[in-house]
Amino acid sequence: MTPVAVGELLDLEVERIAFGGEGVARHEGFVVFVPLVAPGERIRAQVREVRRTFARAELREVLAPSPDRRSAPCRHFGTCGGCQLQHLHHPAQLRTKVEFVQHALKRIGGIWWQREIPIRSAQEFGYRIRAQWQIAPRGPDQPPAIGFHRAGSREVCEVESCPILVPELNAGLARLRGMGAEHGLPRVLDMAAGAEGVATDPPLPGFAVEPITQGVGADTFGFAPQTFFQGNRVLLQELAAHAVGERAGYAALDLYAGVGLFTVPLARNHAQVTGVESDPHAVRIGRANLARNGCENATLRSARVEDALRSLLRAVAAGKAQPPDLVVLDPPRIGARAAMPLLAQLAAPRVHYVSCDPATMARDLRVLLGADYRLLDVTAFDLFPQTYHVETVARLALAAAE
């Protein structure tokens, strides 16, 4: 029997924020997750769901607020599911995200990282260059509802503007809203802002034609609304520079390369660079990015990462290739579970792992740390202010190579 029941009101003290944005509290030792709270607060919450090992509750009253709490700048916060941390001052958000990384390393990776994890940040609003709009028809002669999913729901929370988006995207939303139902808008629309304006997928009249471009330092990258490209244009250059590092070398390998955000700068300090990406559309745009930035010493291969690693391992075993000096990998949220044993076998002297999910990163790093690698540094990047998401770069070196 659990010590709580659906509908019960509980007075709780919040211990911390869990990855996902919910606060962690306990009632008679039983874990209760509550959104929209801050660590150290005393709250009253009503239980809405009970599982075998935990419960979820809705905040009813803040009995003793944290000094980290603020009034959310967006009037849709709490209803819209896009943001989870707007009720916290930005410095508190940053501390929370570092704790996400520390907790994942220790609990999932078994990694007791004693050194500081710095977090790099910039402006907390008006940074995002990508949006995925949810569109719901409302009947004949009525404009559709356009916005994001409601928190915990697939229903549409209609928004007039979003404070985390760059102004161009909010202008694009206004233009989209003005198009009305007669244009046959899709249920889901990807939108991105670049130097050429705002592009959509599927394409709509009056918007830019993809690929659009974004400058990152001295380089320029084409991308499309439906291809992966980091959404925070303010921190792109800093992230790329840290992920690539300053060391020069002969060969580098960029796994899950996307449209070449790391492939291009790697070509600046390595004689040969190979990027690997499985999305054919991203590969086409990425190859154009290599040409656009004069990277004649770099290639982008269309393949699954595991297949590319197996092929390279066979070439190394046959004496036809050498392991690269550096491997940079930026896998999707699910991580690189299938690729990690192959990467460990490749034994490149240095590996830089870029992650948007601390849990899968910690799981994958454990494989390398069990294969004679050591962790050099861990740095967090606040690419997604107001949300629970955090980008992390972990840099490792093979012990024998140091």
Residues pairing with 10 in the sheet: 45
What pLDDT, in 10s, does the model give residues 50-102? 999 999 999 999 999 999 999 999 999 999 999 999 999 999 999 999 999 99
Which has the closest alpha carbon to 136: 150, 117, 121? 150
Low-confidence ranges of the chain (pLDDT < 50): none
- Would the CATH topology of 9-69 be identical to that of 96-123+215-401? no
For the chain, give every domain's residue range.
Answer: 9-69, 96-123+215-401, 130-208
390, 383 in Cβ contact below 8 A? Answer: yes
CB burial of 37-68 (b: ≥16 within 10 Å; e: otherwise) equals: bbbebbbebebeebeeeebbbebeebeeebeb
> Which CATH code fits 9-69?
2.40.50.140
> Which CATH code fits 96-123+215-401?
3.40.50.150
- What local confidence, expressed as pLDDT, does residue 137 receive? 87
**May I ask the CATH class of domain 130-208?**
mainly beta
Residue 41: its H or E element: none
Q: Cite the DSSP H helix spans in 44-194.
A: 90-107, 167-179
Whole-model pTM over 0.85: yes
Which has the closest alpha carbon to 300: 266, 338, 332, 325? 266
The residues, any chain, with a CB within 8 Å of residue 252's CB and separated by 6 or more, are 266, 270, 272, 273, 274, 324, 325, 326, 327, 328
Q: How far apart are CA 351 and CA 58, in angstroms?
A: 43
Strand bridging mode 188-194 / 197-201 = antiparallel
Just list the catalytic residues: 356
Q: How far apart are CA 116 and CA 245, in angstroms?
A: 19
Q: How far apart are CA 121 and CA 86, in angstroms?
A: 16
- What local confidence, expressed as pLDDT, does residue 181 receive? 59
Residue 110: its H or E element: none
Taking only Cα atoms into account, the Rg of the chain, rounded to an integer number of angstroms, comes to 23
- Kindly list the distances between the CA atom of residue 305 and the CA atoms of 11, 212, 315, 332, 352, in Å, as whole numbers in the listed order: 49, 26, 15, 12, 15
Residue 191: its H or E element: strand 188-194
What pLDDT, in 10s, does the model give residues 370-385? 999 999 999 999 999 9
